[in-house]
Amino acid sequence: MRICLDTETTGLDPAGGDEILQLSIVDADTKQVLFDKLIQPKYKMEWEAAQSVNHISPEMVASCYTFEEYRDKVQRIMDQAEEIIGYNTQFDLDFLTDSPCTGIKIPSYCKIVDVMQEYANCYGVWNAAHHRYRWIKLVEAAEQIGFDWDQYPAHNSLGDVFATLAVYEDMRDTNLYYIVQTFYSDGTNVKGISEHIAHAKRMLYQMEQRREDVDRSQIVAVRQDGTPELVVQHPPF
């Protein structure tokens, strides 16, 4: 089973005492909601900085159960998962595994997919200081693909799960980086062509932002200076 999950928390440091306020888990294939609960922190009494972002107040969770009530159910879901998808996935997993209030174990065979990192690799702007592509906020990535936030607000963990899935599926279905990886599923080394494709996609996106008329089906690689290197009518695979 492939799952997508997201949390809302009292802060950024589970090892330092921050706790989960909301956890949502969705079957990535069927879109069935497997778990979606507000959770009362066991120790934290207030979290003003986090509340300003996720809008979950102490009063909203005062009558909710603590995580202990849900640990077995969450663990059963994790035990069935072959792939875990998220946006900055390790952040959420740290709250499930490292917090003294949770204690969830992630199976060693489980594949972890970080859509934030993959999206940055395909569409981000290079950050020379950090030697990586700039991470893009989920709200921004979702808006770039036209995700409709009407059903679920941003910074609600269930809404963020569906936004993450929408971004992941759009990237997987339309980005040549993923198409090539799927095509060479036998393990062929596709690093070189994948890097060209990722650069081409970033160039196309930047051109679209400037409203230039570019045919997505034609540019499949770029030179080091960012100009098109190879132009064809159809991708050669």
What pTM did the predictor assign? 0.75
Residue 100 has what pLDDT? 81
Domains, the chain, with CATH or none = 2-173 (3.30.420.10), 190-231 (no CATH)
Distances in Å between the Cα of 67 and the Cα atoms of 40, 71, 101, 157, 211 are 7, 6, 7, 16, 48
Residue pLDDT, tens place only, 41-50: 999 999 999 9
Q: Is the pLDDT of residue 161 over 50?
A: yes
Residue pLDDT, tens place only, 49-101: 999 999 999 999 999 999 999 999 999 999 999 999 999 999 999 999 988 88
